[in-house]
Amino acid sequence: MLKINSIVVILKQHSTIYIMQIKSFTFNPFMENTYVLYDDTKEAVIVDPGCHEKAEKSALMQFIKNHDLTPVKLLNTHCHIDHVLGNAFVKSTYDIPLWIHEEELPILKSIPAYAGNYGFPNYQECQPDHFIREGESIKFGNTILKTLFVPGHSPGHLVFYSEADSVAIVGDTLFDGSIGRTDLPGGDHETLIRYIKENLFALPDEVAILPGHGPGSTIGKEKESNPFVGKLARY
């Protein structure tokens, strides 16, 4: 399944208007959202490349080529198989480093043992080049992403937040009307609830959240109506 969307964010810095754009692709049978973030400098970061089939890889490459982008970093919010299927392809194609949280390393290394059972016998391993620290700033072009630690769906799950843009790439932590599953290795329901409330819900209500699956939402909407972590939580 291949689906492509585009999100445009106006970013103001020091009286200069920069345009940060976010291109989303929906890849692989898990319907995972892959994001390409870039600005007027043409530098880009690729977040959670789920591309596996030839057509998916081609779509990503063609978009980058058509927009004359220069990818400079590969970021994983977390390392479940659906979010990293394209890691090796992206890293080798663009010769860029893979950045993850150190606690995701065991999750990443476990994939070859089960990839075939999930229908991906040709999965290619990819080793990280840098371990992201909580609160570390990730820079590309004129854009700065702040990292937020939100474990629970996986042990080292990160959120990439642009304060200037009021947008956060939240992976599988928080969804439109739901939260990430916690029954996979390294998951913990109480931990996820706690860090959503402490770290994600500390963001302004207007912040847009772009999740690893499905449509986006806002922090304010999920604070109000999310049945797991909102004001009227039922679970």
Q: What angle do CA 13, 14, 17 make, to 5 degrees?
A: 50
Write down the CATH number for the domain with range 3-225. 3.60.15.10
Q: What is the reported pLDDT for 12?
A: 41
From first to last of the 235 residues of the chain, give the pLDDT tens digit: 555 565 544 444 434 456 789 999 999 999 999 999 999 999 999 999 999 999 999 999 999 999 999 999 999 999 999 999 999 999 999 999 999 999 999 999 999 999 999 999 999 999 999 999 999 999 999 999 999 999 999 999 999 999 999 999 999 999 999 999 999 999 999 999 999 999 999 999 999 999 999 999 999 999 999 999 999 887 7
Region of 13 on the Ramachandran plot (φ > 0 left; ψ -120 to 50 alpha; else beta)? beta
Q: What is the 3-state secondary structure (H, E, C) of 92-107?
A: HHHCCCEEECHHHHHH
Burial class (CB in 10 A: 0-12, 13-18, 19+), 47: buried
Q: Which residue do the tokens 């080793």 mark? A: 127
Q: Quick one: how many helices (H) and strands (E) in the chain?
A: 6, 15
Amino acid code (one letter) for 90: V
On whether the CB atoms of residues 37 and 165 are closer than 8 A, the answer is no
Tell me the domain boundaries of the chain.
3-225
DSSP 218-234: EHHHHHHH-TTTSTT--
Global pTM value = 0.93
| Pairing of β 98-100 and β 130-131 | parallel
Residue 150, classed as helix, strand or coil, is coil
Per the structure block, which two tokens stand in for 114?
A: 């089960």
Cα gap 45→142, rounded to integer Å: 12
